[in-house]
Structures are given as structure tokens and as C-alpha cells.
Amino acid sequence: MTLRLGPGEVARFGRGSTAVPVELRLDDPAISRLAGEIRVTDDHWQLTNHSTTHSYLVENPEGAGEYLRVPPRRVGAPIPFEFSRVVLPTRGDVTVSFQVFAPDHVYLDPDAMGGPWGNSTVTAYSLNETATYFLVLVALCEPRLRDQSRVAVPTTPQIVERIGGHVTGGELTARAVSSHIDYLADEKLRIGAPGAHEPGKGERRNGKREEIVGLALRFGLVREEHLALLPPLTGAGGRERQAAR
């Protein structure tokens, strides 16, 4: 299940009930019917913990163990991570969690730093080159960067195979890759959905990938030097491509 929220919108989470509806249902007896809520602002999101006894953890999967603890009854705790995992305690062996992609973080243009405040500008596409979504973007662009041709954009299984064991915080799953691609398209690069004439879900996703790669390469958001972020190519084909460069 995926929820998309705009600035000022709120999503409540918990076990829920007829009397206490929630947008994100977490089916565990140790979780309150209304456990908390997420509120979106212009450039970050806030977490409210309605529990009177339990703290919630907000983990940064890309931060090598970085996390925040939101104590009971805390209202509107600002979360600075672009990509987060909210973890709730349970009585079972496995914790209950869900992922949150933050609104697009805005960064000052480094070329404008130090000038008068009135002249400050922000970058059109604010990409964090240390984030997993950027690694996914580089992997999407890799075939065209190496071959300089209109080759097919890699599929999700191909991305998982290429960088699955090369990310901070553990293995990268196909579902996570799809989430990163959606985040790139919707938040970071702001690419509109493909036209309604494309009938299949797979075709729509392929169209989205094509647009992501096309925009990233046209504007130089991903360049040849970024290929160093990827693990070395293996196999004869990889050696041949590297030798040809």
C-alpha cells in the first residue's frame, strides 16, 4: 500500500477500527488503534506518537545505523531523513515497520553561496549522491553512459542484480528499487505520469524509467564519473566494455 501526501496533509496509522479510522492500518495487537500520525510540510515530515508508554524509532536505512527515537506523547517531531523506516514495538519476534519518503529536500546552489541573501538560488534537481536512490539512478543510466547508444533501460531485477549487495544497510530488494524509482520520478525529478494511452502497468513503469534516464542524462545529473559509485563489472562482457574505454 502506498500513500501520497502533500504539504499540510496528515496520515494516521495504527490498528484502527470502525470508530477510529486510520489511513495506514498496522495489524498487530500490541499497536494502539490510533498509534500516531504523519504530517507533511514543505520540505520534511513530522511524526506524532500517540502512545502513552512506547517510543517509536525512525531509522535512516542509508545512514549506517542512524536513527531517531520519538518518545511517548511527542507531537510533531521533525524527521530530517529523506528516506526513513518507522519501527513500532510489538510482542512478536518481528517488529512492525513502514517506510516514508520525505518531501523533496532543497539545497542552496553552491555557486551562489556567500553572495547577498536576496541573490541566493536553489538547485533545480536536489540529488544526494550518497543516497541509495542516486545509486539506482546511476544503475539505470549505466548502459547508455557506457555504450553511448539507445539501449534498453535496465529492469528492476537487473538493477537488483547490479547493485543489490552494494548498498548501505543491507540487501536491496526489487520492491525497494521500485520505491526508489517512484521517488525519483515523483519527488526528485518531478516527472509526470505517462499518458493514459499506455495500457499496461509494466509499460507505464518502463515509460517512467525512460523519462528518468532521459532527463538525468540531458541535464548532466548523472555523468561518467558517477559510474565509479557502482560495483565493478564482472564477466567477459564487463571486462570488454571497460577495456574499450
The list of the chain residues with pLDDT below 70 reads 1, 63-64, 104-123, 148-150, 168-170, 192-205, 235-245
175 with 228, same domain? yes
**What integer pLDDT is reported at residue 47 of this predicted model?**
96
**What integer pLDDT is reported at residue 245 of this predicted model?**
46
Report if residue 123 sits inside a domain.
no
236 with 136, same domain? yes
Q: What's the number of domains the chain is made of?
A: 2
DSSP conformation class of 41: -
For the chain, list the strands marked E by DSSP.
10-14, 24-25, 36-40, 45-49, 56-59, 67-70, 77-79, 83-88, 96-101
**What integer pLDDT is reported at residue 235 of this predicted model?**
60
229, exposed or middle or buried, with CB in 10 Å at 0-12, 13-18, 19+?
A: middle
- What is the CATH number for 57? 2.60.200.20
78 with 173, same domain? no
**What integer pLDDT is reported at residue 193 of this predicted model?**
53
92 with 181, same domain? no
Q: What global pTM score does this model have?
A: 0.61
93 with 137, same domain? no
96 with 145, same domain? no
**What integer pLDDT is reported at residue 241 of this predicted model?**
45
144 with 240, same domain? yes
Q: Which residues span the domain enclosing 57?
A: 10-101
47 with 149, same domain? no
**What integer pLDDT is reported at residue 110 of this predicted model?**
59
Report if residue 119 sits inside a domain.
no
Neighbours of 93 (CB within 10 A): 5
Q: Which of 78, 101, 124 is the last residue of a domain?
A: 101
Report if residue 121 sits inside a domain.
no
Report if residue 117 sits inside a domain.
no
Q: Positive or negative, the Cα torsion across 169, 233, 162, 128?
A: positive
Instruction: Identify whether the C-beta of residue 11 lies closer than 8 Å to the C-beta of residue 3.
Output: yes
Torsion (CA) 86, 91, 92, 95 in degrees, nearest 10 = 10
Report if residue 115 sits inside a domain.
no
74 with 145, same domain? no
Task: Please provide the average confidence, as pLDDT, over all residues in the chain.
Answer: 82
Report if residue 3 sits inside a domain.
no
Report if residue 5 sits inside a domain.
no
39 with 140, same domain? no
Report if residue 168 sits inside a domain.
yes
Instruction: Identify whether the C-beta of residue 7 lies closer than 8 Å to the C-beta of residue 42.
Output: yes
**What integer pLDDT is reported at residue 197 of this predicted model?**
43
| For the chain, percent of residues with pLDDT exceeding 70 | 78
